[in-house]
RNA sequence: GCCGGGGUAGCUCAGAGGCAGAGCAACUGAUUCGUAAUCAGUAGGUCGCGGGUUCAACUCCCGCCCCCGGCUCCA
């Protein structure tokens, strides 16, 4: 992982510990003004740290009682007074020793602790009016520059993120350069609430959770359609790429996990149970068992690469407080694969894999971004192996014309990797795919071999990769991305036939049957309700197409086509509607184009 | 796991020691309807679970489970 803004903030070392861009500076200054307001209202409170973060800022405070929503409103009022007073931010420097004395005298124990933990001889402080804080800066010139901000929430947070440390109270806020940006951000927060996959999952009957199985979804018929369509999508692509699908046991003897190293490093996250005196565990990952499949026979250099894919159902005993809808679960299904190749094949495999990833996400209108994580300090394997693996990953990225960030030292101890985030329709990032080169872990621990051209056994390189990441999380992501209005190929119900009145039920049945025969997931809504009611219902259920049929349509063999976008595409011949819909579904098109002239 | 907030009808939520409530959804009937909500009626509950206090607990106390927002972790 690259150092986070929080980490840099805490260390106060280097030239620019805090991101000096105008927006980050503004947010950072806003957090100082918030701390100033808090100290005015609650003089006994001690301050910890307050960095800029994505979309805003926070500040942590030591205080007996939590902040209430009313407190936040009062703090915000005081902040606006401070802004109005147009106070300058003033920088001053002092020796670290003096700074320690300065903050100790004020009882600011957290500042003292930070200062004691750093190496710099001199440090900077920033002062605005009656508030002074240890800070690397930079800051805006005057408080009047803060125009568009809002406090959002308060919650507990540990000092330095360590649960053994005291709990502090954190206030989150957001700040922007303009009111329009702030309004836009607040709109996105509102919109995100409306799109919450937990809410939509219930409303659209996709999945549900019951307290008998925390962290594990029950897939309802509608949601299972999504699972099946995604599986079908994945299998089509992997079949075309020469993958071979396997499936390995979920309940596995502890011996395997001792061999793989999971028992030592990951045991706390594994569900264990005893069977006839032996300890078994539900698999948290699929790699060790894929190695068994590899090892099943003697492999020649000619057999490689071997690409074993698996819809691996994994269980991880996540701490109860971390579970969140489909995004963080205890049972999930990875679209996993392990590619076993010769070192000289690594480059081509990675290039093909990135091409696959790039194409994959086009279907969902999700924008991927790539991060190359290189060798960490603690690692296994030779410099030559690492050089080869890192340059192969980089060449694969460049070969595909992909922009990427570097994450120096962020790789696994067994090899470098590329992590892939996607940005959704609201601009939120989600980690989905990962491509990890494994130089040593599986190859060494499981003694993987192939017989090379010289007749000697050699170690293959393994690539661990997942593209959706997990079906559960991915469905959570796309539910929010599409706001539940899935493209036709994914929509649980693709079309609803709505007879204008029961007089036209026969023709409606014919239309319905034609659609079903063409494998369109269609429903007939012949309920005893007015057309307007049934249209509204289909709309609320986000059904892509409504096919309204009455006398005119029955006579002419047409349907009146109304996509959920609200347009009226008028009377379209039934044959054409069926053809358009099947084409739209087969091509996994993003837009609703059937019947568009 | 920790901190804070919650759990009352399918959903959204009100109620606070003394008869369990509303809107929407559901069901039944009437209406036969042309592009986002027809009218009327009916039914619906172990107030998360267990214990305690009390003449009486959805309400107060204790323990547990689950959910939400964070911390930490993460596909």
User: Which residues 130-189 in chain A have a CB closer than 7 A to strand B?
Assistant: 153, 155-158, 161-163, 167, 170
Q: What pLDDT is stored for residue A3 in this prediction?
A: 47
Q: Nearest nucleotide, C1' to the C-alpha of A466? A: B75
Estimate in Å the CA A534 to C1' B35 gap, whole number. Answer: 10
- Please report, rounded to whole angstroms, the spatial distance between the CA atom of protein residue A137 and the C1' atom of nucleotide B5: 35
Task: Give the E-state strand segments of A283-366 in sequence order.
Answer: 306-315, 331-341
Choose the catalytic residue: A46, A316, A379, A562.
Answer: A316
Contacts of A189 (CB under 8 A, 6+ apart): A152
- The pLDDT tens digits for A31-53 are 999 999 999 999 999 999 999 99
Q: Report CA dihedral (A266, A377, A11, A175) to the nearest 10 degrees.
A: -70
pLDDT at residue A1, rounded to an integer: 35
pLDDT category, A170, cuts 50, 70, 90? very high
Mean pLDDT of chain A: 92
CA A207 to C1' B38, whole Å: 33
Residue A204 pLDDT exceeds 90 = yes
For the stretch A424-466, pLDDT in tens is 988 888 999 999 999 988 999 999 999 999 999 999 999 999 9
Collapsed DSSP state (helix, strand, coil) of residue A452: coil
pLDDT category of residue A165 using cuts at 50, 70 and 90: confident
pLDDT in the model for residue A16: 41
The pLDDT tens digits of the residues spanning A524-579 come to 999 999 999 999 999 999 999 999 999 999 999 999 999 999 999 999 999 999 99
| Mean pLDDT value of segment A517-523 | 96
pLDDT (0 to 100) of residue A164: 85
Nearest nt to A503, CA vs C1'? Answer: B32
Res A14 pLDDT > 60: no
From the CA of A453 to the C1' of B37: give the distance in Å. 74
CA A67 to C1' B16 (Å) is 25
Question: Is A334 annotated in the active site?
Answer: yes
CA–C1' nearest nucleotide, residue A554: B34
DSSP-based three-state secondary structure for A346 = helix
Catalytic residue, candidates A18, A135, A287, A341: A287
Of A283, A417, A512, A562, the catalytic one is A417
Yes or no: say if A583 and A489 are a contact pair by the CB < 8 Å rule.
no
State which H helix or E strand residue A461 sits in. strand A461-470
Q: Within 7 A of a protein CB, which nucleotides of strand B?
A: 1-4, 7, 11-12, 30-38, 65-75
Return the percentage of chain A with pLDDT > 70, whole number: 97
pLDDT digits (tens, 9 = 90+) for A88-106: 999 999 999 999 999 999 9
| Beta carbons within 10 angstroms of residue A232's beta carbon | 11
Give yes or no: A464 in active site: yes
pLDDT above 70 for A15: no
User: What digits encode the pLDDT tens for the residues A113-143?
Assistant: 999 888 888 999 999 999 999 998 899 999 9
Q: Which of residues 189-208 of A touch strand B (CB under 7 A)?
A: 198-199, 202
- For chain A residues 563-592, those near strand B by a CB cutoff of 7 A are 564, 566, 568
pLDDT of residue A7: 57
Domains of chain A from N-terminus onward? 5-186 (3.30.980.10), 201-248+283-481 (3.30.930.10), 495-586 (3.40.50.800)
Question: Any idea which nucleotide's C1' is nearest the CA of A570?
Answer: B35
Task: Report the distance separating Cα A353 and Cα A355, nearest Å.
Answer: 5
| Catalytic residue list contains A417 | yes
Distances (CA, A) of A120 to A15, A98, A126, A356: 11, 12, 17, 48
* A461-470 and A331-341 beta bridge pairing: antiparallel
Residue A62 CA and nucleotide B53 C1' are separated, in Å, by 37
Q: What is the pLDDT of residue A137?
A: 82
- The catalytic position among A39, A299, A338, A541 is A338
**A401 vs A407: CA distance, rounded Å:** 19
C-alpha to C-alpha distance for A500 and A578, rounded to whole angstroms: 20
Is the per-residue pLDDT at A11 higher than 90? no
A321-376 confidence digits (pLDDT tens): 999 999 999 999 999 999 999 999 999 999 999 999 999 999 999 999 999 999 99
Pairing of strands A404-407, A367-373: parallel
Q: How far is the CA of A474 from the C1' of B75 (A)?
A: 9
The residues of A between 427 and 486 with beta carbon within 7 Å of nucleic strand B are 431-432, 434, 466, 469-470, 472-473
């Amino acid at each position: 992982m690259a150092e986070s803004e929080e980490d840099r903030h805490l260390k106060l070392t280097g030239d620019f510990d805090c991101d000096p861009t105008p927006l980050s500076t503004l947010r950072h200054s806003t957090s100082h003004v918030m701390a100033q307001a808090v100290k005015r209202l609650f003089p006994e409170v001690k301050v910890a740290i307050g960095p800029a973060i994505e979309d805003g800022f926070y500040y942590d405070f030591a205080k007996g009682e939590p902040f209430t929503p009313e407190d936040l409103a009062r703090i915000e009022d005081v902040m606006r007074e401070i802004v109005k007073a147009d106070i300058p931010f003033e920088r001053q420097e002092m020796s670290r020793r003096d700074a320690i004395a300065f903050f100790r005298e004020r009882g600011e124990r957290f500042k003292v602790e930070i200062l004691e933990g750093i190496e710099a001889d001199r440090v900077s402080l920033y002062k605005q009016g009656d508030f002074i804080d240890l800070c690397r800066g930079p800051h805006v010139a005057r408080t009047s520059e803060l125009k568009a901000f809002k406090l959002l929430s308060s919650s507990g947070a540990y000092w330095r993120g360590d649960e053994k440390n005291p709990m502090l109270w954190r206030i989150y806020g957001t700040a922007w350069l303009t009111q329009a940006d702030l309004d836009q951000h607040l709109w996105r927060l509102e919109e995100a609430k409306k799109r919450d996959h937990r809410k939509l999952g219930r409303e659209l009957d996709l999945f549900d959770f019951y307290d008998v199985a925390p962290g594990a979804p029950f897939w309802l018929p509608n949601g299972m359609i999504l699972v099946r369509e995604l599986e079908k999508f994945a299998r089509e692509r992997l079949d075309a790429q020469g993958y071979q699908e396997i499936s390995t046991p979920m309940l596995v003897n502890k011996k395997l996990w001792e061999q793989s190293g999971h028992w030592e490093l990951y045991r706390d996250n594994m569900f264990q149970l005893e069977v006839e005196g032996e300890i078994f565990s539900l698999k948290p990952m699929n790699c060790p068992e894929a190695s068994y499949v590899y090892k099943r026979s003697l492999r020649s250099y000619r057999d490689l690469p071997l690409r074993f894919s698996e819809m691996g159902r994994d269980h991880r005993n996540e701490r109860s407080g971390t579970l969140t809808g489909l995004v963080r679960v205890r049972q999930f299904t990875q679209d996993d694969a392990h590619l076993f190749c010769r070192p000289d094949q690594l480059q081509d495999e990675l290039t093909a894999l990135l091409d696959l990833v790039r194409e994959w996400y086009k279907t969902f209108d999700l924008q991927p971004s790539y991060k190359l994580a290189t060798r960490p300090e603690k690692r296994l394997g030779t410099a030559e192996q690492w050089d080869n693996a890192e340059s192969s990953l980089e060449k694969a990225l460049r070969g595909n014309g992909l922009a990427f960030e570097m994450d120096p030292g962020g790789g696994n101890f067994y090899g470098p990797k590329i992590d892939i985030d996607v940005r959704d329709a609201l601009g939120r990032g989600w980690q989905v795919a990962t491509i990890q080169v494994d130089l040593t872990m599986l190859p060494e621990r499981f003694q993987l071999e192939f017989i090379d051209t010289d007749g000697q056994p050699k170690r293959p390189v393994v690539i661990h990769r997942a593209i959706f990441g997990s079906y559960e999380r991915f469905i959570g992501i796309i539910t929010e991305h599409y706001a539940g209005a899935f493209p036709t190929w994914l929509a649980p119900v693709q079309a609803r036939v709505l007879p204008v009145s029961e007089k036209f039920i026969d023709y409606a049945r014919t239309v319905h049957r034609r659609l079903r025969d063409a494998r369109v997931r269609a429903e007939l809504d012949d309920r005893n309700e007015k057309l307007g009611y049934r249209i509204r219902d289909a709309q609320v259920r986000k059904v892509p197409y409504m096919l309204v049929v009455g006398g005119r349509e029955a006579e002419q063999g047409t349907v009146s086509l109304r996509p959920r976008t609200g347009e009226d595409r008028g009377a379209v011949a039934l044959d054409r509607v069926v053809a358009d819909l099947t084409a739209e579904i087969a091509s996994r098109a993003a837009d609703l184009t059937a019947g568009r002239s």
